[in-house]
Amino acid sequence: MKIIVKKDGELLDYLYNNLDMPRKRIKQYLTHGVFINNNKVTKYNYKIVKGMEIVIDTNNKNKKECPVQILFEDEHLIVVNKPTNLLTIATEKEKEKTLYHIIREYLVGKDKNNKVFIVHRLDKDTSGIVIFSKDIKTKNILQENWNEFVKLREYTGIVHGVLEKKEDKIINYLKETKTNLVYVSKKNDGKEAITNYKVIKENKLYSTVKIEIETGRKNQIRVALSSINHPLVGDKKYGLKDNETRLYLHANRLKIYIPYLKKEVLFETSIPKEFKVLMNKGE
């Protein structure tokens, strides 16, 4: 089904007002994704403008579903929302229970010739936006120019306590032990890590912080917040002993220049509902 947009608006409302179709069914199609100007879109409130072409594959419910949320997909990239407690790629101890394996199974399920390549990664305990490439050329271009192409890396985290400074830039020099534990070097002989934070909500127990990183070091955010004595909630590696079952760190916004599109694209996710639940505990 192909539709040419005749009026600016939001995707779900426009389709509901212009198709003889129940809202529930339209939402089902959006769950799998519709194509707008050849780009896959799943957001209900996606902004559409006059002249755009919307293509709905009415047979897509028969296709293999991806068990993780797809934020964007086209012929070169697939961008997904990684759950917490899931490795991005395989390790010596774990080969199959990874995000890479999930995405590969999904793509090969659609076409046995499909390929997938990791562009960047998140810690196992961190949830949020991860980009995969479907071809080696795109993967290499993005990786080789990552620091130049990435314009924004924003996270939301919840830390223990109330921060005296509501906004600050943390500059650390990080080193790693033989047991893979990252620590702050007192001799400034480690790799520079720059972490910016801003408190956006607080109560007597916890503070929700918006975090932007200027460097992408291993465990950078976790170590930075621990270094100012306000570790992330649920951080079993660098934090306090608490009873939370997940790390409260989520990569919710990533803006990056996509060379084949010749423009910057902002990928966004909603904050996991358990973040709000935790903050309510401290009220």
Q: Which CATH superfamily is domain 150-251 in?
A: Pseudouridine synthase (3.30.2350.10)
d(CA 144, CA 126) in angstroms, rounded, equals: 24
Distance separating alpha carbons of residues 253 and 151, to the nearest angstrom:
10
pLDDT at 189: 87
The pLDDT of residue 138: 97
What is the value of pTM for the model shown?
0.76
Question: Would you state the pLDDT for residue 94?
Answer: 64
**Fold matches, 1-61 and 150-251:** no
Residues (pLDDT < 70) of the chain are: 58-64, 92-96
CB contact at 8 A, 139 and 145: no
9 HSE (CA, 13 A, CB side): 13
Q: Domains of the chain: which residue ranges?
A: 1-61, 64-144, 150-251
Cβ neighbours of 258 (radius 10 Å): 18
Tell whether the torsion through CA atoms of 63, 65, 69 and 72 is positive or negative.
negative
Alpha-carbon distance of 221 to 235, in angstroms, equals 11
SS3 274: helix
- Cα–Cα distance list, 53 to 57, 135, 214 (Å): 13, 26, 37
Token pair for 10: 């939001």
Write down the pLDDT at residue 208: 98
What is the amino acid identity at position 144?
Answer: E
Domain 1-61 class in CATH: alpha beta
pLDDT of residue 62: 45
Are the CB atoms for 73 and 33 separated by under 8 Å? Answer: yes
Q: Which CATH number describes the domain made up of 64-144?
A: 3.30.2350.10
Interaxial angle between packed helices 23-32 and 11-18, expressed in degrees from 0 to 180 and rounded to the nearest 10: 130
